[in-house]
């Protein structure tokens, strides 16, 4: 039966925004939060939508207040709070009810939780929700995992509240149990990579060319009208334009250069490596955040490890940096989709890559005009299933890789770190090198461990004449 009423546990920033979005779309929402003051504040500020918001005093009160079958969305921090909430809900719910986890949960935990919830006779949906507060309020992109029946019962609400790309709701049932959270994790991995490359581009203007934020902002704003059109490029322009109300200087110049992370980028890299996939651009982005936390050490190291001297930044133009970002973005998406393919094969999910690209076209953090072309490429026959070999993207890479090459070379000579751009370039060059250098790895492995190697001119396993 389709749901017309939702319960939300965890009425923080995202929970509140989703509640208002649902109410706006004509759904009733029962709300419960450990700290009731957030619910009170939400309802009192909801204006005409308040009629659709129903606060509950306790979790028991919430369950009792809701019509059956119930659908309860948890918007609580990933990890232990999710398990605690499920433990509290299981004895209160009845067969036919559904527990939805809308947080950034580890997909392996979602798999285990789904088994636990189903064993209790209930249904579960693991939904990755992207778009931040604004997306949650006006239309997020949502990636769902669970049974087809469970998804179908919730599709009317999910489709109503989702972002729309030319009327197509940015939500889909992607596979069983952990599939939705896995796709969201990889979305975040791509998000990390894209953000890191944008930060590197900004750094080249700031440290390589000495431009103030006010002069970098219009460059990003201009790029947003071209091939790089995307949410992250758009907000970069806005971040660079903002003034600090306290000092009057550019806001960006007052922000400490240390970035945290909650885990999804790291999980993407861990899962990629576990499945034998290279996620080098995402890994560089995760590593850059880790090193950013070593701020005191970096300050001490600066005068000791003096910079490389040669300055080729003057030969790097604005267009080269734009091309570096275009190339890097294509390659980061390509890495992400390879990881999705590996997981789909390992877990038997049969992921629909074109649909994933489609539901990322609006609402989510990595939304960009490029995703429409990615969906098209997946809808046609890709040579060897490789995005970068499609007619469209191979042309983009051919015409933009030169900029990435010039940017990485000039940054290296000047001693400016561009870890994600460098990883992107190395990945690109590795994937297009007909004869690589792992023949040497194989020779050494056979030399010290008799691991054997394949010959170019003969089948079977062979050994070298090393110890004759
Ligand atoms: C989104 C975001 C959102 C959040 C993540 C990543 O898609 O809306 O990915 O989920 O930004 O929690 O956060 P960290 O950068 O803290 O890991």
CA 76 to ligand 1 center in whole angstroms:
14
Mutate to test the pocket of ligand 1, among 170, 190, 191 (most ligand atoms within 8 A of CB): 191
CA 248 to ligand 1 center in whole angstroms:
29
Return the pLDDT at 231: 98
| pLDDT class of 310 with cuts at 50, 70, 90 | confident
Q: Whose CA is nearest to atom 7 of ligand 1?
A: 130
| Residues in CB range of 376: below 8 A, 6 or more apart | 354, 392
> Into which CATH architecture does domain 5-177 fall?
3-Layer(aba) Sandwich (3.40)
Tally Cβ neighbours within 10 Å of residue 225. 10
Ligand 1: atom nearest CA of 131 is 8
Return the pLDDT at 381: 73
CA 129 to ligand 1 center in whole angstroms:
10
Q: Whose CA is nearest to atom 10 of ligand 1?
A: 130
Per-residue pLDDT averaged across 402-406, rounded? 97
The domain segmentation of the chain, as residue ranges, is 5-177, 185-431, 437-468
Return the pLDDT at 382: 83
CA 258 to ligand 1 center in whole angstroms:
16
Per-residue pLDDT averaged across 432-449, rounded? 97
CA 188 to ligand 1 center in whole angstroms:
6
Return the pLDDT at 468: 79
Both structure tokens of 383: 């040579």
Return the pLDDT at 170: 98
Tell me which of 191, 200, 234, 271 is the catalytic residue: 191
Cα separation, 417 vs 414, in Å, equals 9
Q: At what angle do helices 148-161 and 13-24 cross, to 10 degrees?
A: 80
- Lowest-confidence region among 40-54, 262-276, 369-383: 369-383
Res 308 pLDDT > 80: no
| Whether 283 contacts 312, CB under 8 Å | no
Class of domain 185-431: mainly alpha
Interior angle at CA 357, CA 419 and CA 355, nearest 5: 150
Ligand 1: atom nearest CA of 262 is 17
Res 1 pLDDT > 60: no
Sheet holding 71-74, edge to edge: 53-55, 28-32, 5-9, 71-74, 98-101, 123-130, 141-145, 171-175
Residue 191 falls in the annotated catalytic set? yes
Instruction: Give the DSSP H or E segment for 312.
Output: none
Res 3 pLDDT > 70: no
Residues contacting ligand 1 via CB (< 6 Å): 104, 130-132, 188, 191, 260-262, 264-265, 364-365
Tally Cβ neighbours within 10 Å of residue 208. 20
Cα separation, 272 vs 283, in Å, equals 10
Ligand 1: atom nearest CA of 263 is 17
Q: Whose CA is nearest to atom 2 of ligand 1?
A: 130
Residues 12-48: pLDDT tens digits? 999 999 999 999 999 999 999 999 999 999 999 999 9
Q: Whose CA is nearest to atom 15 of ligand 1?
A: 261
Cα separation, 274 vs 84, in Å, equals 29
Residues 77-92: pLDDT tens digits? 999 999 999 999 999 9
Q: Whose CA is nearest to atom 9 of ligand 1?
A: 188
Largest CA distance in the chain: 87
Average pLDDT, the chain: 96
Residues 204-240: pLDDT tens digits? 999 999 999 999 999 999 999 999 999 999 999 999 9
Per-residue pLDDT averaged across 67-78, rounded? 96
Res 182 pLDDT > 70: yes
| Whether 94 contacts 68, CB under 8 Å | yes
CATH 1.20.5.320 fits 437-468, yes or no: yes
Ligand 1: atom nearest CA of 135 is 8
Per-residue pLDDT averaged across 315-342, rounded? 97
Mutate to test the pocket of ligand 1, among 262, 287, 293 (most ligand atoms within 8 A of CB): 262
CA 276 to ligand 1 center in whole angstroms:
25
Q: Whose CA is nearest to atom 14 of ligand 1?
A: 261
CA 33 to ligand 1 center in whole angstroms:
22
CA 362 to chain centre: 14
Return the pLDDT at 4: 67
Tell me which of 60, 184, 246, 454 is the catalytic residue: 184
| Residues in CB range of 441: below 8 A, 6 or more apart | none
CA 102 to ligand 1 center in whole angstroms:
13
Cα separation, 100 vs 146, in Å, equals 10
Among the listed residues 131, 171, 230, 137, the one whose alpha carbon sits nearest the alpha carbon of residue 358: 171
Res 136 pLDDT > 80: yes
Return the pLDDT at 2: 55
Q: Whose CA is nearest to atom 1 of ligand 1?
A: 130
């Amino acid at each position: 039966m389709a749901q017309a009423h939702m319960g939300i546990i965890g009425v923080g920033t995202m929970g509140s925004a989703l509640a208002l979005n649902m109410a706006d779309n004509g759904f009733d929402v029962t709300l419960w939060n450990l700290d009731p003051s957030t619910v009170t504040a939400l309802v009192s500020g909801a204006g005409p939508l308040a009629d659709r918001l129903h606060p509950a005093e306790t979790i028991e009160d919430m369950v009792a207040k809701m019509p059956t079958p119930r659908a309860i969305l948890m918007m609580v921090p990933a990890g232990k709070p999710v398990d605690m909430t499920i433990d509290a809900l299981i004895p209160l719910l009845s067969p036919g009810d559904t527990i939805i986890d809308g947080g950034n949960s580890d997909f392996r935990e979602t798999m285990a939780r789904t088994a636990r919830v189903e064993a209790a006779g209930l249904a579960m949906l693991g939904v990755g929700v992207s778009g931040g507060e604004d997306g949650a309020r006006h239309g997020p992109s949502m990636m769902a995992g669970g049974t087809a029946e469970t998804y179908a019962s919730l599709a009317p609400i999910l489709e109503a509240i989702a972002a729309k790309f030319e009327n197509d709701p940015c939500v889909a049932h992607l596979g069983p149990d952990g599939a939705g959270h896995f796709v969201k994790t990889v979305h975040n991995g791509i998000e990390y990579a894209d953000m890191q490359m944008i930060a590197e581009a900004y750094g080249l203007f700031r440290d390589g060319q000495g431009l103030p934020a006010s002069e970098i902002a219009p460059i990003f704003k201009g790029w947003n009208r071209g091939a790089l059109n995307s949410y992250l490029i758009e907000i970069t322009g806005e971040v660079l334009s903002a003034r600090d109300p306290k000092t009057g200087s550019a806001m960006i110049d007052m922000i400490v250069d240390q970035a945290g992370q909650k885990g999804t980028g790291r999980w993407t890299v861990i899962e990629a490596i576990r499945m034998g996939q290279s996620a080098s651009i995402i890994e560089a982005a995760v590593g850059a955040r880790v090193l950013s936390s070593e701020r005191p050490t970096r300050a001490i190291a600066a005068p000791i490890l003096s910079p490389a001297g040669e300055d080729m930044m003057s030969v790097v133009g604005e267009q080269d940096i734009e091309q570096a970002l275009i190339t890097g973005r294509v390659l980061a998406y390509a890495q992400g989709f390879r990881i999705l393919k590996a997981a789909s094969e390992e877990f038997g999910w049969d992921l629909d890559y074109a649909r994933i690209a489609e539901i990322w076209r609006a609402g989510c953090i990595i939304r960009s005009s490029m995703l429409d072309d990615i969906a098209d490429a997946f809808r046609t026959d890709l040579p060897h299933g490789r995005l970068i070999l499609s007619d469209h993207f191979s042309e983009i890479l051919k015409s933009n890789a030169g900029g990435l090459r010039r940017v990485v070379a000039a940054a290296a000579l000047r001693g400016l770190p561009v870890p994600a751009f460098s990883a992107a370039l190395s990945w690109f060059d590795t994937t297009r090198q007909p004869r690589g250098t792992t023949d040497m790895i194989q020779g050494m492995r056979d030399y010290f461990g008799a691991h054997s190697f394949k010959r170019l001119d003969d089948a079977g396993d062979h050994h070298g004449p090393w110890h004759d």
